[in-house]
A and B are shown apart, each in its own frame.
Chain A
Amino acid sequence: MRRFSWFNATSIALGFAFLYIPILLLVIYSFNESKLVTVWGGWSTKWYASLLQNEGLLNAAWVTLRVAILSSTLATILGTLAAIVLVRAGRFPGRTLFSGLIFAPLVMPEVITGLSMLLLFVALNMDRGFWTVVIAHATFSMCFAAVVVQARLYDFDKSVEEAAMDLGATQIQTFLQVTLPIIAPSVISAWLLSFTLSLDDLVIASFATGPGATTLPMKIYSQVRLGVTPEINAISTIMIGLVTIGVLVASYSTKRASQQQERELKAVDAGAK
């Protein structure tokens, strides 16, 4: 049984203070009655009320939500396929390039990805707007999704799949009934990760979008440039709240799912013996 040493406890406490205090201050000041950031005018929810009047912001939020749902679903499907290719397809011509294409977007500066996507859309003569943002987001999110799912594919016991095949399941049956349920928690986290990446993105969306498809980060960015306002704090607080709840629920449910799975596998093991 290990305990916290004072050094470790202090560094963790300081680190987490650094990570969380700015977010906490942002949330607290969204309830500030006064319009000035530094003057505390008492608690108020009036900035939340005024958000509901802000047509432009609400529209942008709606666009962002639809983009995020579509692009993360696409990204999860493509990313899961890519992960299976990386882990299970063995050697094939162009494999090095393929894994390069999966890892490069993780670190590629967004201005480069955004510009190159835009130029592709222009060269293909595609109308820029909602769908080009969806494609752009799906493309860079699928790489994050692939990395998440790949980690799980490496972990799990391949003999379960082999057993299914030995018992006469086809490849597709094996995938749907054995592999997919086992990697499901990681597929869900891949979807969530892609979803928040899309929700957050300013740079790539700014390049890929066209008239009529302004996303929430673009709207927030143009207001932030004009200065700090409690209204932005309020919308930020809502987004932080939603994401926090989503992540906590997801991590709790995936944890339960994997515990459940472990129990079942143990039961199967015990039965086999």
Chain B
Amino acid sequence: MRRWLLISVPYLWLLVFFLIPFFIVFKISLSDIATAIPPYTPVFDFSMGIGEFISKLDFENYRFIFNDSLYVNSYFSALKIAGISTVLTLLVAYPIAYGMARAPKEWQPTLVMLVILPFWTSFLIRVYAWIGILKKEGLLNLFLMNLGVISEPLTIMNTPLAVYIGIIYSYLPFMILPLYASLEKINPALLEAAADLGSPPWKSFWQVTFPLSLPGVLAGCFLVFIPATGEFVIPDLLGGSDTLMIGKTLWGEFFGNRDWPVASAVAVVLLLVLVIPIVMFQSNQEKEREAAR
């Protein structure tokens, strides 16, 4: 009895405020835009029967999305940018996590703390910090020109490169921490054994360390890739008008065009695109949890 009460409180909360809203989004994506408040035709009209209800559903908004190159390009470009940034983040994060896992034991809590600390400071502020660095008259150009490395300022701001830098920077802790967690668990005796058996360090790395760190690699990649695909703030502030990403397009559709049904359809398709990585992420977490027991 008490057990059911305990379960039902958080469960009901999540059902009402997280799961049911998705069904509403889906329903509204099937309705038409209307000049009213709220700006769409009613979601539920209980006067009609089931048959009529089904016949009233139309996929007009979806047809519209798939026939308009803006949306299709936004999806592909978001997936591409998120994919490339995930790989780059992994490449940047791995040596750091590796170094941390091999650092003296008494240093490690401090190092972990130092990785988490920037994550606690505002995402928006951290992205904003890069505007001052990357823009044409920004600090990076100033620095490089004073050094004499370049004579003309580089155009980084408002290009995809700025978005890559922004994503790597903002999501780096999400990659470092799971990597560190799995690297730190590796028993050093395994590497000693490999060395005793004549394996050179790089070979031990690829045949022992890297495979054992795979759960961390996977978790980190999901934690970066999935949210980065729907990212809004970074492409909006650093990417300029040339960088298409679906999160930005959705935002514009909703706040700019006020077309809620199309915005909902965009969200549903984005969710469908991400459902496979999300399910993979969850089963990966579930497996890790079982292993932790």
Tell me whether A and B are bound partners: yes
Residues of chain A with a CB closer than 8 A to B104's CB? 1-4
- CB-defined contacts of A244 to chain B, threshold 8 Å: 117, 120-121
- Nearest CB in chain B to that of A12: its residue: B99
B237 partner residues in chain A, CB cutoff 8 A = 224-225
> CA of A106 to CA of B229 in the docked complex: distance in angstroms?
14
Flag if A11 contacts B117 (CB, 8 Å): no
Across the interface, B123 reaches (CB within 8 A) one of A11, A115, A139, A200, namely A200
B293: chain A residues within 8 A (beta carbon): 154
Do most interface residues of chain B lie in helix, strand or loop, or is the interface mixed?
Answer: helix
Which of B11-19, B47-55, B56-64 interfaces with chain A? B11-19
CA–CA, A103 and B285, complex, Å: 9
Q: Which of B24, B105, B114, B230 contacts A123 (CB 8 A)?
A: B24
- Residue in B10, B15, B100 whose CB lies within 8 Å of A78: B10
Contact with B along A75-108 (1 / 0, CB 8 A): 0001101101100010010100011111111111
Contact in complex: B18, A25 (CB < 8 Å):
no
Q: Mark B26-46, 1 if CB is under 8 A from A, else 0.
A: 001000000000100001000
B98 with A11: CB separation less than 8 A:
yes
Contact of A92 among B2, B7, B19, B251 (CB under 8 A): B7
Answer whether residue B233 sits at the interface, using C-beta atoms and an 8 A cutoff: yes
Complex: chain A residue closest to B188, CB-CB: A2
A4-B103, A85-B7, A247-B120 known; A120+B21 contact, CB < 8 A = yes
Whether B17 pairs with A139 at a CB distance below 8 angstroms is yes
- The smallest C-beta distance from A192 to any residue of chain B, in angstroms, reads 8
| Interface-central residue, B21, B22, B102, B270, by most chain A CB under 10 Å | B21
List chain B residues, Cβ under 8 A from A101.
Answer: 11, 14-15, 18-19
Q: A3-B104, A85-B6 are in contact. Are A139 and B128 (CB under 8 A)?
A: no
Instruction: Give, as a whole number of angstroms, the nearest-CB distance from A121 to chain B.
Output: 9
Given contacts A18-B169, A115-B264, contact A8 B20 (CB under 8 A): no
The 8 Å CB contact of B129, one of A10, A23, A78, A99, is A23
Q: Are A104 and B282 in contact (CB under 8 A)?
A: yes
Chain A residues whose C-beta falls within 8 Å of the C-beta of B17 in the assembled complex = 117, 120, 135-136, 139
How many residues of A are in contact with the other chain, CB < 8 A? 85
Number of A-B contacts (CB under 8 A): 243
Cross-chain contact A119 with B281 (CB below 8 angstroms): no
Contact assessment for B230 and A111 in the assembled complex, using a CB-CB cutoff below 8 Å = yes
Output the least CB separation between A227 and chain B (Å). Answer: 8
**A9 interfacial by beta-carbon distance below 8 Å:** yes
Residues on A with C-beta less than 8 A from B24 are: 116, 119-120, 123
Tell me which residues across on chain A come within 8 A of B99, comparing CB atoms: 4, 7-12, 15
Determine the distance from Cα of A227 to Cα of B113 in the docked complex, in whole angstroms: 32
A2/B169 in contact, CB under 8 A: no
With a CB–CB cut-off of 8 A, which chain B residues contact A104?
A: 18, 278, 282
Q: Chain A, 110-134, contact with B by CB distance < 8 Å: what is the 0/1 string? A: 1111011101101100000000000
Residues of chain B within 8 A of A81, CB atoms compared: 6, 9-10
| Docked-complex contact A239 and B267, CB < 8 angstroms | no
Cross-chain contact B124 with A200 (CB below 8 angstroms): yes
Q: A16-B96, A202-B123, A247-B117 are in contact. List 14 more A-B contacts (CB 8 A).
A: A11-B99, A15-B176, A19-B173, A22-B169, A38-B137, A99-B286, A107-B222, A111-B232, A115-B254, A119-B25, A139-B14, A228-B131, A236-B125, A240-B125
List residues of chain A with CB under 8 Å of any chain B CB: 1-5, 7-12, 14-16, 18-20, 22-23, 25-26, 29, 37-38, 78-79, 81-82, 84-85, 89, 92, 94, 98-113, 115-117, 119-120, 122-123, 135-136, 139, 142, 146, 154, 171, 196, 199-200, 202-203, 206-207, 217, 220-221, 224-225, 228, 232-233, 236, 239-240, 243-244, 247, 251
Minimum-distance CB pairs A-B, first 4 = A109-B230, A15-B96, A116-B21, A8-B99
Selected A-B contacts with CB under 8 Å, 6 pairs: A2-B102, A26-B132, A104-B282, A116-B25, A120-B17, A200-B122
